[in-house]
Chain A
Amino acid sequence: MEWLIPASESTPQVHYAPETGTLSLEGESYPEDVAEFFGQVKRWIDGNFQPGGDYRVSLKLWYLNTGSTKSLLDILRLLAAKVDAGARVTVEWHYIADLELMREAGEELLEGCRVPWKIVPVEPE
């Protein structure tokens, strides 16, 4: 089933599209309470990513504060556990072409990640 958290000033939009099995986070992330925001995302993944299912996690985050980066690492660990349990998950980090900082952030996040991942440039809007 579809799931949506609209974007706020300091949190990205969260959307799950059941037909493609894609969970996307898009926007900026520097919430006041990091644990609360990412906690709900984590709980949702835990409850909805089933073994045997095909899932894609699409991240298009202009900015992540350090707290959000750390929380996202937690989510990556959870995804790794789901993969271990039999789910098929891929992670895609989208960055705007030429925006080195955004690319570097993705590299640092995904470095050493056990979930299959790729970093994808996108054209500026």
Chain B
Amino acid sequence: MTDSVNFLWVLASAALVMCMQIGFCMLEAGLVRSKNSINVAIKNLCDFCVAAILFWVSGFALMFGNSPTGWVGISDFFLESVTAPSALVFFIFQLMFCATSATIVSGAVAERMSFASYLIVTAVVSGLLYPIAGGWAWNQNGWLHQLGFRDFAGSTVVHGVGGWVALASVIILGPRIGRFDIKHSLASSHSLVISTIGVLVLFVSWFGFNGGSTFALTDAVPGILLNTVLGGAAGFLGALVSVWPHKKLPELPPALNGCVGGLVAITAGCQAMSPASALLVGFIGGVLSYLAVLALEALRIDDVVGASAAHGVPGVWGTLAVAIFGNLEVLDTGLGRWEQLGIQLLGVSVFFAWAFGVGWAVLFAINKLHPLRVDADLELVGLNVSEHGASTEIIDLLNEMAHHSYKGEFTERVSFEPFTEVGQIATQYNRVIDKVVAEMEMRESIARHLQRARDESENANRKIFSSLQYARRIQHAILPSPRQLQETLGDHFVLYEPRDIVSGDFYWCATVGTKRFCAVVDCTGHGVPGAFMSMIGYLLLEHTIVEEQMLEPAEILSAIHQRVRQALGQNSDEGAGNRDGMEMALIRIDRDEVIFAGANRPLWWFIPTTGEPEFGEIGGDHHGIGGGALEPEMIEFTQHRIPRHPQLALYLQTDGLLQQPNHLRAIYDRRRLRELLSSLQTTPISQQARHVSASLQNFRGGAKQRDDITLIGLQPFSLPEPEVPPFAVNGTEYGDELFRLEGPMTSRAIADAGRILRERTNLTMQSRLALFGLFVEMAQNIARHSAERADGVGVGTIFARIEENYIAIGASNLVNAARAEALRAEFDRLRALDPAQLRALYMERLHQGTSEAGSSGLGLIDLSRKSKIFPEISLKERGPDKFLFSMTVRVPHN
């Protein structure tokens, strides 16, 4: 064939090899993350430009110049004497190879090597490393060539050098940030489509790479191209069948690498092998490239596109395969197969040592002068922006979005160009933003409305709350004070827990004469309605008991029942629908007993015994007070008596405590309260509230209080003073007291009381005189002998009351033990005497001794004989050396 055809073939091949720049550019740009894609792409253009110029300056000379030693060429710098067209065609073809070798590095070091450093590395590779080593194999005087080393199109010369320099580079650079972070895998390659197209471009380019290496369109070319195709295809499949079972997926990047690996492997011996061998060599090259990727990963070497795996390792294999599968005649080295293999092994070792070893040293030195790697923050931003200020639409969009989120400003829309993918994203983003803004406005408007409504209701609540607080003060004013309770009830406790601010429960106590009253009342409803009812209840109790002096509990309940009905108009047609009312437990505490009547409320009592305390429940009548149509107009309540016992404990309660549910809807129940109170009978009654309250809280847990709760416990006979002496005749009391005098018996007090007594005109003169005499005698006894004294005057109590047949005068005071014993003895003696004997004794004592000897003995005799019935005497222990002495004398009415 003519030179022209050969020129055309080789130049076309050169153009195809140049297309490898396109292929690598696409492969690498697709495999990296988008933030580095521009950087990788520009490197591929840049290294070609640098390599082209340097190869013209020195590369070609070092590689193909006159090389007397076989180590390095020394002529033809700047193509000085190279002028023949054929030589220039050769130059152009070789220039492309040089650029290819250099560009292999760019993918490996992607995403973290600075652009400037890369230019230096490119210069070193294309200006020094590649041409010098290339000369050893491809210069006719090259020492390896002389030894018989054969590498047809550059498995080792081109790809080996590029791959090993790439390996050295990535070892010095270190892995990308986050590459081997177990928790967060690095973002994927941004476009495997581009990468795949890149590999296809490389595949096509390889036609020129291998096919052009004949430097003429010879008969060998079709076979070479066939082997190339089979090698690349087998490499792809080799990697695919390796990765598929291993990763359970036909992962794309290893397969792309395998294709390149197969092409690299077949490059060295494609002119000297059978198609079947080529297929096998390519297949193994593909498998090796995947194994190399795994090895890199295991060694934590971060070769971004797997350049050393796809070029270095298959390159070694392909170069050795020349000796294994190559047609020795075609090779024409005159060597045997084993000798050839030895030379091939020597060659790849030398190239590895040179490219990796020298490459590593040079890069290490450069790294010291000028760090190869960019700063971490620049790496994170991405080299597109940090190295080139080159943005992409998507980055611009992201920046705008980031600005929005940073400012919290969503009213702005992002700007965009329509009809692009990014434009679509931006359009959609703007729609979302519009929706968000609309949504926010709607919510703000709702929130404003809610806020206004809340303000208004808070305001109203505050007013209601403060008026309820005020109502509570009023309601609390009707409740007896602790002191009043203590004076009326004796030792006691009150557990009063309104459900709301004001309560439908209330309690009440009062003393009328010697009678003490206590009521616990549960009005219908709770809260405000209950509180209104409680005021009615309070006023009716005060009116009926304190003002009208109705004293019988059953009658009191009946009266209040009618008065509630009257007050609420329940007996009339207008109030027929009204069913309000109250339940009430009412007790009256007398000297020797407690009288109880109940409207739907019971009275509980305990008396301590040696074992379990005695317990009793007196149910009230099954009628409420008021109640409208629910109750008859008139109710006769039942009255119950509980005799005196010094340790009697009484409990009055509303039903709020017993009906209180817990979260399981069980109620507190009477048994629980009864057992608790029973266990508390050895606890002072004033401390029992605490235990009941704790038990209730414990039981209630998180459940809400259902109703007002009131529980009063009292020991009605615990009051030490005033002790009222007996003045009952046959257990019956009659009428009112004539008078009562309590306190220190000063002469002034005695005189005043005496005058009142004498002025009672409904008595006969005789009775008045008799009463007066007895009164003075008793009062002066107290003044002289009471153990309790105020300003030197004895303290005690005297009263007089009219009974059926007699007027009784009672006196009581504290005395010491000796006096008590003397009194007991004296009265025992006197009791045995009849009236005549008493008079005789009186006369005897009267004339005995002087007045200075004292007259108390005489006084007692006088009282005894003047009392129509022998005086009732009692002496009760009230403490150490302290007795309460009481006596009652009686005179006839007239």
Contacts and interface: CB of A to CB of B under 8 A. Distances in A.
Interface of A: 9-10, 30-32, 34-35, 38, 62-63, 65-67, 69-71, 73-74, 96, 98-102, 108, 111-112, 124
B846 A99 contact: no
A63 B769 contact: yes
B846 A101 contact: no
Contacts of A101: 766, 769-770, 773
B763 interface: no
A66 B859 contact: yes
A63 B846 contact: no
B747 A70 contact: no
Contacts of A102: 769
B194 interface: no
Contacts of A67: 780, 851, 855, 859
Nearest to A33: B747
A10 B846 contact: no
26 contacts: A9-B754, A9-B755, A10-B747, A10-B750, A35-B851, A35-B852, A38-B851, A63-B769, A63-B772, A65-B859, A66-B859, A66-B862, A67-B780, A67-B855, A70-B855, A73-B851, A96-B765, A98-B765, A98-B766, A99-B766, A100-B766, A101-B770, A102-B769, A108-B842, A108-B843, A112-B847
Contact of A73 (B750, B780, B846): B846
A30 B780 contact: yes
A85 B850 CA distance: 22
A38 B850 CA distance: 12
A63 B769 CA distance: 7
A71 B851 contact: yes
Q: Which 5 interchain pairs have the tightest Cβ spacing? A: A9-B751, A70-B851, A71-B851, A67-B855, A66-B858
B747 A9 contact: yes
A63 B847 contact: no
B558 to A, nearest CB: 47
A70 B769 contact: no
B183 interface: no
A62 B858 CA distance: 19
A32 B851 CA distance: 13
B850 A63 contact: no
Given A9-B751, A30-B776, A63-B773, A70 B846 contact: yes
A35 B852 CA distance: 7
A112 B847 CA distance: 10
A69 B862 CA distance: 11
B126 to A, nearest CB: 141
B747 A31 contact: yes
A11 B380 CA distance: 120
A67 B769 CA distance: 17
Given A30-B780, A100-B766, A9 B859 contact: no
A114 B1 CA distance: 197
Interface string B736-775: 0000000000011011001100000000011001101100
Contacts of B766: 98-101
B387 interface: no
B777 interface: yes
A70 B856 CA distance: 11
A62 B777 contact: no
A40 to B, nearest CB: 14
A96 to B, nearest CB: 8
A11 B765 CA distance: 20
Contacts of A70: 846, 850-851, 855, 858
B846 A108 contact: yes
Q: Determine which residue in A66, A69, A73 has the highest number of CB atoms from chain B within 10 A of its CB, and name it.
A: A66
Given A70-B851, A70-B858, A63 B747 contact: no
Contact of A74 (B769, B770, B850, B859): B850
Contact of A66 (B754, B770, B855): B855
B764 to A, nearest CB: 9
Given A9-B747, A30-B780, 17 more contacts: A9-B754, A31-B747, A35-B851, A38-B851, A65-B773, A65-B777, A65-B780, A65-B855, A65-B859, A70-B846, A70-B855, A73-B846, A98-B765, A101-B769, A101-B770, A101-B773, A108-B842
Nearest to A31: B747
A10 B858 contact: no
Interface in B836-892: 842-843, 846-847, 850-852, 855, 858-859, 862
Contact of B851 (A10, A74, A111): A74
A35 B847 CA distance: 16
Contacts of B847: 73, 112
A99 B754 CA distance: 18
Contacts of B765: 96, 98-99, 124
A36 to B, nearest CB: 11
A66 B852 CA distance: 12
Interface in B595-630: none
Contacts of B846: 66, 69-70, 73, 108
Contact of A32 (B747, B770, B852, B855): B747
Contacts of A30: 750, 776, 780
A66 B862 CA distance: 8
Nearest to B861: A66
Contacts of A108: 842-843, 846
A60 B765 CA distance: 16
Contacts of A69: 846
Interface in B762-808: 765-766, 769-770, 772-773, 776-777, 780, 783
B549 to A, nearest CB: 33
A111 B227 CA distance: 172
Nearest to A101: B769
